[in-house]
Structure 1
Amino acid sequence: MVFEYAPAPESAAIVDVRPSYGLFVGGEFTDGHGEPFKSVNPADETVLAEIARADEGDVDRAVAAARTAFERVWGPMPGAERAKYLYRIARIVQERSRELAVLESIDNGKPIRESRDVDVPLVAAHFFYYAGWADKLGHAGFGPDPRPLGVAGQIIPWNFPLLMLAWKIAPALACGNTVVLKPAETTPLTALLFADICRQADLPPGVVNIVTGAGDTGRALAEHPGVDKVAFTGSTDVGRQIARSAAGTAKRLTLELGGKAANIVFEDAALDQAVEGVVNGIFFNQGHVCCAGSRLLVQESVAEELLERLKTRMATLRVGDPLDKNTDVGAINSAAQLARIRELADAGEAEGAERWSPPCELPPQGFWFAPTVFTGVAQSHRIAREEIFGPVLSMLTFRTPEEAVTKANNTPYGLSAGIWTEKGSRILWTAQRLRAGVVWANTFNKFDPASPFGGYKESGFGREGGRHGLEGYLDA
């Protein structure tokens, strides 16, 4: 018997989306001087709001406001006083959690269940966590009297708009820096709502500034001579450009870039548990996750059985309205990203891999892609080498642990990996040999504010989260 779920929509009425939004500079919303652009709901392609575009002059104003706030207010402020503001922000995030979750799902396309249960709680947790560090920086292991760097220019992606904001702003403020943040052009709305939260928390003007725009705005911020630190999360190609622009300057740099994570399933793994981890690893947030487990490496002896169970589980995934609480896979964030996913999926078929998706009725409007798994994948295939950033899984097999490690490390990226086995010794043996910044064992996509996150090779450098996340914002 098949049970059908009745629709369980979350109301969008809790969010008051304004027709237009300005920049947030010096504690006030101001006009931008570039050509405004539109933020679109990816689930139905309706226009949500018109967004101001910051030009170089606007970035100048934001950096100047941040510098003034740093020198006069925030930098000299005792850490215990800064902590009070961070605690206040965390509490307001909790109080407005439903509003933030709904707005995130409308603007980004991710299921409300993920926004509500994962993203927003982690946002509050990061501000609470770093509030606790604000008056203890001398005990963080970076010298007895570490100092803030000054003005941090921060550029965040569209896959976790509010969470990436928290990952960057919370440690920067705890260390005494001020911030100019540029959200992704397709998902600016929760960052602009966060600006309102900063005002509600009575954060001193200029401590947090938000400039909206596309690549030109981000470039102006990253290359601005008044910025002391650049923190970027996004594509490896843009990360290279930022690294080149910072070379030869005194700017500090943290880059969290792409990934092509391996999820390794050994023959002694609990297969049902592993299947849940595989599904969570690649279909969470529509695969729009830099650390997504997009390469599934399965020991040959259990490959057929695991694939059968995986297909059965994929057939239960519900694709549709992001505001429906029963939805598992929401909308792809943009038309451009959907085109990229389709291109790589088509390349997988053209190169000889076998493509499978469960029967899935996609909505007629919006940007949608059915959960997909490829078998018969070779390491030379584009789908095994390039970051797809969508709900597409490539399955490969291995015979020995040594082969599993070799295949897992055969990538220019090194952000994350997963290991599934009942043997603790095998977990430790494998983890020591994987060239990945984060390795999960018998789980996947688990995050905690106290745990550092970052990569090797083309996945970037520096760490965000935990005590390690303070280092990039301190001049020891």
Structure 2
Amino acid sequence: MSAQHTIHVGGEWRGAASGATRDIIDPADAKPFAVIAEGGTEDADAAISAARRAFDEGPWPHTPVAERAALLRRTADLLVRDREKIGLLESRDAGKTVEEGRVDVDCVADAFRYFADLVVGEGAGRVVDAGSDEIHSVVVHEPVGVCSMITPWNYPLLQASWKIAPALAAGNTFVIKPSEITPLTTVVLVELLIEAGLPEGVANIVTGPGATVGARLADHPAVDLVSFTGGLASGTKVALAAAADVKKAALELGGKNPNVVFADACESDEDFDTAVDQALNAAFIHSGQVCSAGSRLIIEESVRERFVAELARRADRIRLGRGTEDGVECGPLVSEQQRDKTESYVASALAEGAVLRCGGKRPEPSDVRPATGYFYEPTVLDQCHREMRVV
């Protein structure tokens, strides 16, 4: 596969039908470090047709469960083999630390093994009591068909695995569109699936924007199920598109998760330290760019000031920098757009009466933190209320 041939359709790596490409930016220094194919509607149509043929005419849906599980386990072994390379790529692509990238690879390998075990343990069917000895009623599972998968930029490889592994275990074919910001490790995962022996046409990937590729994956009539992880606005569009022909839809959308701390969780010094550490981790792991991030902290009033003061003190000590540097605990935001959005939310909170306890600005550049990177200091805003835009 060449650097620009990141679209895989029916067993062939290719460039975009239009010839368009996109630079992939390292968020640590805002410099391009890879080039991908910028696919469009024509590429999505070709990929869906390939997945449809592979499901309707190919061997995969009828492959014995034990063989499908064995392929998933081979894929897990290949992920472990390439752990360092993939972890580094995830770090450069998404801005997270290399250690976080390695952990992601471990979790992905675990996911493939989990679904391999799950499908092998699936029985021949669940007998249902129909109320008569003359009736034999059994509920069986069968593959749904062609699955469209649209994944976000924050955990590219992990989110892809949570869709791909169960779909393959069940005998489906798929087309996946990773985020156009962070597509590289998903491309690598498809390469590993092919190396593991997956038949042609079962796994297809189209790199490109959501407005064209993503929209087509959601509304194409040959798709049986669409799985989307991302924001509410885009998820609503996916649901509406899927509703047109009543295809199955699985949506995991963004939220504003509360982390609630009561006084009895802070009764001893050890309990207090644990609670603060957990709140810190919930808010700032991967620069806070996590679907389940504890971005709202609700604290019982009797311990509020002590808790917030210590949280801010520890947040202020988080070591920011390029994720590939030793000792760095938190990388940059994934893009200039995300940093701009963060700055906008902080500014609106301060204008609406929030109190800044730490952060709230871009850090000074250093030997591990290029001035051009999309860095933003870990920020704690106090005395917020529900009417604020940031909340």
Scaled by the length of structure 1, the TM-score of the pair is 0.74
Within a 5 Å distance, the mapping from 1:276-291 to structure 2 comes to 276-291=277-292
- State the Cα distance separating 1:372 from its structure 2 match: 0.1
2-structure distance, mates of 1:69, 1:249: 22
Q: Evaluate the alpha carbon distance shift between residue 79 and residue 375 of structure 1 in structure 2; reply closer, same or farther with a 3 A threshold.
A: same
Please state how far the C-alpha of 1:139 moved relative to its aligned partner.
Answer: 6.8
Aligned equivalent of 1:53, options 33, 38, 41: 38
- Identity across aligned pairs (percent)? 40
1:128 corresponds, among 107, 110, 113, to 113
Map 1:12-23 to 2 at 5 A.
Answer: 19-23=3-7
C-alpha separation between the residues in 2 aligned to 1:124 and 1:248?
Answer: 36
Q: For residue 37 of structure 1, what is the aligned residue in structure 2?
A: 22
Out of 246, 251, 257, the position equivalent to 1:261 is 257
- Classify the secondary structure of the residue corresponding to 1:137: coil
C-alpha separation between the residues in 2 aligned to 1:20 and 1:48? 12
* Cα offset, 1:157, TM superposition: 0.2
Q: 1:141 to 1:370 in 2, by over 3 A?
A: farther
State how 1:36-435 maps to structure 2 within 5 Å: 36-71=21-56, 72-116=58-102, 118-138=103-123, 144-215=139-210, 216-269=212-265, 270-357=271-358, 360-362=363-365, 363=369, 364-384=371-391
Give the secondary-structure state (helix, strand or coil) at the position aligned to 2:88: helix
Q: Contact 1:36/1:53 (CA < 8 Å) preserved in 2?
A: yes
Q: What per-residue deviation string (whole Å, max 9, x for no partner) do you get for residues 130-160 of structure 1?
A: 0112233347979632111100000000000
Runs of at least 5 residues in structure 2 that lack an aligned partner in the other structure:
128-137, 266-270
Structure-1 separation of matches of 2:357 and 2:124: 53
Structure 1 unaligned regions, length at least 5: 1-16, 385-476
Once the 2 structures are TM-superposed, how far is the Cα of residue 18 of structure 1 from its aligned partner?
6.2
Q: Higher mean Cα deviation, 345-354 or 322-331?
A: 322-331
SS of residue matched to 2:250: strand
TM-score, structure 2 normalization: 0.90
- 1:137–1:175: 8 Å Cα contact kept in structure 2? no
Aligned partner of 2:133 in structure 1 is none
Give the conservation status (yes or no) of the 8 Å contact 2:154–2:290. yes
Work out which of the two has the higher radius of gyration on C-alpha atoms and give 1 or 2.
2
Over residues 194-227 of structure 1, what are the superposed CA-to-partner deviations in whole Å (9 max), with x where a residue is unaligned?
1221221121111111100012111011111111
Report the 3-state secondary structure (helix = DSSP H, G, I; strand = E; otherwise coil) of the residue aligned with 1:219. Answer: helix
Aligned to 1:395: none
Structure 2 CA distance, aligned partners of 1:161 and 1:140?
34
In 2, are the aligned partners of 1:130 and 1:171 still within 8 Å (CA)?
Answer: yes
